[in-house]
Chain A
Amino acid sequence: MTFINYASREINCKIVYYGPGLCGKTTNLQFIYDSTAAQAKGKLISLATETDRTLFFDFMPLELGTVRGFKTRFHLYTVPGQVFYEASRKLILKGVDGVVFVADSQEERMDANIESIFNLEENLRTYSYDLMKLPYVLQLNKRDLPSAIPAADLVSELRRKDEPVVEAVASTGVGVFDTLKAVAKQVLTELRKS
């Protein structure tokens, strides 16, 4: 749910990074955080376990710049990927404006990708959101790993509509900003329509 404040001339949008456990959602946010100028970002909040697994969510506000005199601010969230954090995952999707699905390219994680994407659709439905109508990007992460399966195979299994597909290596930043740009652009384009 976008929030437009005429008094402070700000527009705030919420983007959620979704995907199976250890697919690289937090790594995406960490790279964005590390590569962004201090004045354009707030703190990166990580509610994680002692072993650095996301417990509830990661959050960072990112200011992209000004459009038509309005500061555009994106609030980036990740969900906990592990299956048993289902209740928390659902809560974070509330009020989402755009979703990035981070798929793990490794062959042994294909089932986890499929399960997670179905879980995403199901959780969106509980808020009466439809993935088909939502700004959405499919990121194929960990393209550098030897066990990564061909991108075309991942696409044929995981692509839901005509969403942009970005190949990435989040740990080195490859494709991270392309992904963010692809989803942010769709969110802003939606605003034009509304």
Chain B
Amino acid sequence: MTTKSFTKDALIKAADGLRKSYRVFVPVKVGKFHEFKLFEDGDKPDFEYRKTRKSPKGLIFPQSERMLEYSIDEHKPDHHIMKESPKDYSPQVVFGIRPYDAMSFKVMDVNFDTEDYKDPWWIKRYAATTLVGICRNDLDSKMFATENFSGPYDIRGLDVALYDLGDKYIAKSLTEKGEKALAAMGGNDVSAAELAAIEKLTPDTNAPQAAPTDKIKEKVVNDLFDSTMWEDIANGCINCGACTFLCPTCWCFDIQDEIHKREGDRLRIWDSCMFPLYTLHASGHNPRGKKVQRVRNRFMHKIKYYLDKYEKGIMCVGCGRCVEACPVNIDIRRVCELMNNFTK
């Protein structure tokens, strides 16, 4: 473990310096919102941001990704035979990620890297990614703590933690990948006083409170499923899907073929369980044709099925994006509470 100190200006230079050996993604303000983008000449990273509107999950799990390619031109000897699309897996750094977003990759990893099947794209890109994250007491009121994110100084998902001491950052490497990135970042040696200062950092009174989920494990799936609370929860939902697209832990995807002239691609695209097409059979039958069924499935997946299957807490890092974005104020914290307090 290495520690280094950076003034706020020096941190921007350090991120810039990393571009020699990594593709570096940084938070920048675009219009009213922050988003992660590839650090290019002229960009102004803003490490003082609180939350990006869209989570950075797309840097490892792109919103649209070419998986396979093929030709349907019968004059070609390998027509209609699918091949993996070439990819760039050169090392990348997500510089300035917040710890909850970093943790979301660990929450999703269990889906893509399993004993039986390995998603090659996810695995290679996650392995090529170094997460350099900012720990600061500025989490907002929509956020909440879960087993997968306990507060601003929860560094479990990070490779390098950057502790904000007001006028400077203290960087601490946490993994081998982080060690390598920090070595390339430079920085000043850390004084004993600075070390002591980061040891003393604790979540302030504004830090997110936990949503109650401690009793959900013991509930029977079918009891929760059959509850009448779902009608109430889903009542206002307009099935816009904003919650699922902004969620850093939603991993559902669609697979589609596209042909351009005689050349084709098989693409993977984010999908949403909020849409009726997601489960529509070719016959016209739809096991989740009603809104309430889809809303129930989303919360049951996140808060019950995931918890039971992996025993790694609920499928949520408490970022609060779905709470902010929901046009009808559906609040996952309330759903956690309802599920936790549910009695048959």
- A and B assemble together: no
Q: Which residues of B contact A (CB under 8 A)?
A: none
